Amino acid sequence: MSTIEHQDNQSNTVEELNNRNQINEIQTQLSHVKELAQYEIDASFVKNIKQAKVQQDFLKAIDVYENGKYFYGLTEQMFLKVFNYNGGQQQIEEIISKKFPQPLYDSIMLKNKSDQDLVIVSIKNQPINVYKLQNDIYNIEDQPLPPKNSLKSVGYLSSQKKNTENYQTPLQFKYDDNQLYGVGKQFVIKYDLNKFQIKDSYEKFVKSDILSCFDIPNQNSADYSKYQDVVAFGKFDRKIEILDYKQKKIVNQFGLHLGGITCLKFDPQDSNYLYSGARKDDLIYQWDLRKQDTFVHYYQRKCTTNQRIQFDILDNILAYGRMNGDISFVNTNSKETLLNQKIHEDCVNSVKLFQKEDKKYCISTSGQRHYKISDESDTTDSEEDSSEDEIDMKIEKSQQQSTVQKVNKNISKQQKIRVNKQDDSLKLCLVKI
- In the prediction, which pLDDT does 273 show? 92
Q: What is the pLDDT of residue 399?
A: 39
Query: Residue 21 and residue 28: Cα distance in Å, rounded?
Result: 10
Cα(192)–Cα(250) distance, rounded to whole angstroms? Answer: 23
Q: Please report the domains of the chain, with CATH numbers, ordered by start residue.
A: 60-316+373-422 (2.130.10.10)
Q: From CA 272, how far away is CA 268, in angstroms rounded?
A: 10
Residue among 129, 105, 80, 57 nearest 424 (CA): 57
- The residues pairing with 371 across neighbouring beta strands, listed in sequence order, are 379, 418
The pLDDT, as a whole number, for residue 15 is: 57
Return the pLDDT at 360: 87
Q: What is the pLDDT of residue 122?
A: 96
The pLDDT assigned to 76 comes to: 87
The single-letter DSSP state of residue 185 is B
Separation between Cα atoms, residue 128 and residue 8, nearest integer Å: 74
Residue 27 is predicted with a pLDDT of: 44
User: Residue 371: what pLDDT?
Assistant: 59
Model pLDDT, residue 397:
42
- DSSP codes of every residue in 385-415: ---GGGTTTS--HHHHS-HHHHHHHHHHHHT
Q: Look at residues 349, 354, 358, 276 and name the one whose alpha carbon lies nearest to residue 315.
A: 354
Three-state secondary-structure class, residue 240: strand
From start to end of 139-237, where are the E strands?
139-140, 143-144, 148-157, 172-176, 179-184, 187-192, 197-202, 211-215, 230-235
Q: What is the pLDDT of residue 282?
A: 95
Which pLDDT does position 136 carry in this prediction?
74
Identify the helix (H) or strand (E) that includes residue 116: none
pLDDT at 350: 94
Q: Which residues of 397-433 are buried (b: 16+ CB within 10 A; e: fewer)?
A: eeeeeeeeeeeeeeeeeeebeeeebebbbbbbbebee
Digits of tens for pLDDT over the chain (433 positions)?
555 454 455 455 445 545 555 545 444 443 333 334 444 433 333 333 233 333 468 889 999 999 888 999 999 889 999 998 876 666 778 899 999 999 999 999 999 888 889 999 999 989 999 999 998 766 566 666 666 889 999 999 877 766 666 788 999 999 987 889 999 999 999 998 888 888 999 988 888 899 999 999 876 555 545 566 789 999 999 999 999 988 888 988 998 999 999 999 999 988 889 999 999 999 999 999 888 667 999 999 989 888 889 999 999 999 999 999 899 999 999 999 988 888 888 889 999 999 988 888 899 998 887 655 444 444 555 433 444 444 444 433 443 444 445 544 554 444 444 444 455 678 888 777 6
pLDDT at 96: 93
Taking the CB of residue 276, how many other CB atoms lie within 10 A of it? 27
Close Cβ partners of 141 (under 8 Å, ≥ 6 residues apart) = none
pTM of full prediction above 0.85: no
pLDDT at position 178, please?
82
